[in-house]
């Protein structure tokens, strides 16, 4: 009887242990899924004619939670025509409070500078605003210095790509060249500019697997034309279902920023539609 009872107890521990492991594995999978979630935000360049306050309000109206600023934005309002990098530390904190009050999170800044010192200022301001990385297309002689700054600020630089003939980084191979030897560099995948350059966005994403920090999402009316017109996302030539599926396959967990370049004075509804459209695709792929 004692032996039978001992076997029963031992078997019970095995069953409970197995059940516990199963629950733990399910929890781990759930946590992994949450960690891998793609967030959809708005590049404030979408509303570039407006002040920072108006741009934040329009981003909120569009349903976004994350925003990316741009260094040449004339902030307007009490800041006048000054740029974000020209603000005092006190004014940066005021702007941070305004961003928080708007319900937005400032995750990144599209940056540019001709010297390492100028990039240092952009890293500093972005970090003060709660940002996690810069986006830009620096010249090769600045790469080592910018990589060191990224290390200093515990941030990253996401290399952006404008279209062929307008950027040294138009092709993924050029982005990979900059990343090589620079541990704090990654890629900002601009789907629209790749399309303008006659490159398949999905193939470009595949080439940059493991290096993608963020995505700029736009849509165009024509493939392979550097002067192609920006259109509402989902109405153009980019097949976003394939794009999102590839990002999910790579377990990408960064932001996809909607960058709506057409009719910036009247495009809130198109940005709103784009945010909802990309979120719906993400949810369908992540199920």
CA 119 to CA 252: how far, in whole Å?
27
pLDDT (0 to 100) of residue 37: 80
> Which is higher by pLDDT, 30 or 270?
270
> Is the pLDDT confidence value at 235 over 60?
yes
170 in the same domain as 94: yes
222 in the same domain as 180: yes
115 in the same domain as 17: no
27 in the same domain as 98: no
129 in the same domain as 21: no
CA-derived radius of gyration, the chain? 22
> Is the pLDDT confidence value at 286 over 90?
no
> Is the pLDDT confidence value at 282 over 60?
yes
260 in the same domain as 137: yes
112 in the same domain as 251: yes
pLDDT (0 to 100) of residue 80: 96
Confidence label for 112 from pLDDT (cuts 50, 70 and 90): very high
CA 33 to CA 56: how far, in whole Å?
29
pLDDT (0 to 100) of residue 25: 42
CA 71 to CA 69: how far, in whole Å?
7
pLDDT (0 to 100) of residue 287: 77
| E strand residue ranges, the chain | 39-43, 66-70, 105-110, 133-136, 156-159, 185-190, 212-217, 219-220, 230-231, 255-258
2 in the same domain as 86: no
User: Domain range spanning residue 10?
Assistant: 1-35
Q: Please write the tens of the pLDDT for every residue from 118-138.
A: 999 999 999 999 999 999 999
169 in the same domain as 280: yes
> Is the pLDDT confidence value at 212 over 60?
yes
**What would the DSSP string read from start to end of 232-266?**
-TTSSS--HHHHHHHHHHTT--SEEEE---SSTTS
pLDDT (0 to 100) of residue 278: 97
Q: What is the pTM of this model?
A: 0.87
Per the rule left: phi > 0, alpha: psi between -120 and 50, beta: everything else, 77 is left
Q: Please write the tens of the pLDDT for every residue from 78-107.
A: 999 999 999 999 999 999 999 999 999 999
163 in the same domain as 225: yes
Structurally, the chain folds into a number of domains equal to 2
CA 176 to CA 172: how far, in whole Å?
6
> Is the pLDDT confidence value at 7 over 70?
no
Please report, rounded to a whole number, the percentage of residues in the chain having pLDDT higher than 90: 86
């Amino acid at each position: 009887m004692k032996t039978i009872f001992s076997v029963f107890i031992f078997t019970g521990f095995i069953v409970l242990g197995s059940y516990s492991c199963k629950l733990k594995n399910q929890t781990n999978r759930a946590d992994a899924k949450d960690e891998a979630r793609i967030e959809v935000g708005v590049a404030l360049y979408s509303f570039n004619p407006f002040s920072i306050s108006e741009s934040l309000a329009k981003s909120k109206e569009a349903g976004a939670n994350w925003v990316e600023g741009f260094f040449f934005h004339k902030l307007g309002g009490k800041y006048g025509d000054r740029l974000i990098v020209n603000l005092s530390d006190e004014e940066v904190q005021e702007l941070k409070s305004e961003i928080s009050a708007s319900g937005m999170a400032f995750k990144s800044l599209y940056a540019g500078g001709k010297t390492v010192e100028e990039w240092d200022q952009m890293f500093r301001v972005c970090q003060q605003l709660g940002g996690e990385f810069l986006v830009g297309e620096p010249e090769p002689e600045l790469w080592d210095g910018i990589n060191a700054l990224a290390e200093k600020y515990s941030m990253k630089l996401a290399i952006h790509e404008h279209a062929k003939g307008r950027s040294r980084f138009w092709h993924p191979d050029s982005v990979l060249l900059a990343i090589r030897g620079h541990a704090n560099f990654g890629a900002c995948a601009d789907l629209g500019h790749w399309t303008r350059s006659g490159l398949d966005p999905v193939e470009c994403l595949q080439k940059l697997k493991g290096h993608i920090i963020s995505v700029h999402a736009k849509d165009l009316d024509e493939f392979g034309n550097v002067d192609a017109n920006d259109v509402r996302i989902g109405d153009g030539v980019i097949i976003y279902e394939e794009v999102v599926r590839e990002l999910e396959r790579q377990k990408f967990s960064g932001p996809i920023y909607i960058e709506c370049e057409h009719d910036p004075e009247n495009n809130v509804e198109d940005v709103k539609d784009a945010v909802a459209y990309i979120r719906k695709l993400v949810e369908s792929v992540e199920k």
